[in-house]
Structure 1
């Protein structure tokens, strides 16, 4: 069983998958920053200075000592609310990530199609047959 596991791990596909997951995690962090730090502030500015990441609908009562507009503290206190701003940010983050992956797959497919294989020459058997025939002629 240990040998089978070692063989499974040593396959190229597993290693490629591991590298892909690690790079994907790092790329998701970059995409999250792009969304939160660049795109959403611009979207908020377009809509009149609205910060979407802290937009919510309050469903429960507000505990004493917490402002009814402080999304982070309300969430930390476990107050029931719908954080639609965080959801909008997550959707935009997903769309950016999906689009970049689409572009990457499209580029890889283009590269794979670009290089057609060279026409195959005669096989080894055909070459040997030609040599044999030439030797018979002499």
Structure 2
């Protein structure tokens, strides 16, 4: 088998296509989560705290700041000055926690659906069903059920 045909077989397998779809949806989902944190959750937290809460401006400068460079995260990073950006890390951490919670809830929901499918519905036997089973058992010669 040639390398091209092996690659074609690999690329067209269902698992690879499922993975590709998952990566694309995951990227879009990450964008939604980032927007949720930055555009909805953080403004609410800022309102509760009582002021503007911008985590990206929380950092420690680890080097000397040359003259003419503004003391904000974007300018310092653009100038190549080492910055310990713990605020950005907090934002990413919040994104991760929200994403992990949403995935947890989705997996929990899917597992609940699977458990419901696996559990066979119980059927209650009526008196007529029991009589029929006793008759069948008696005809087959099994006396244990006829009592």
Q: What do you get for the CA RMSD once the two structures are aligned? A: 1.9
List gaps (5 residues or longer) in structure 2.
122-147
Residues of 2 paired with 1:16 and 1:32: CA distance?
Answer: 24
| 2:121 maps to 1:112 | no
Where has structure 1 moved over 6 Å in runs of 4 or more? none
From the superposition, tell whether residues 79 and 48 of structure 1 become closer, same or farther in structure 2 (CA, over 3 Å).
farther
List gaps (5 residues or longer) in structure 1.
120-138
Q: TM-score, normalised by structure 2?
A: 0.72
Deviations 1:100-123 (A, max 9, x none): 11111111222222113879xxxx
How much has 1:61 moved relative to structure 2? 1.3
Q: Name the structure 2 match of 1:129.
A: none
How much has 1:72 moved relative to structure 2? 1.1
Q: Indicate the structure (1 or 2) with the bigger Cα radius of gyration.
A: 2
C-alpha contact 1:44 1:52 (8 A) present in aligned 2:
no
Relative contact order, higher structure (CA 8 A, sep 6+): 1
| 2:10 maps to 1:8 | yes
Deviations 1:46-72 (A, max 9, x none): 33323112111122111211232x221
Q: TM-score, normalised by structure 1?
A: 0.76
Number of residues of Structure 1 aligned to a counterpart in Structure 2: 118
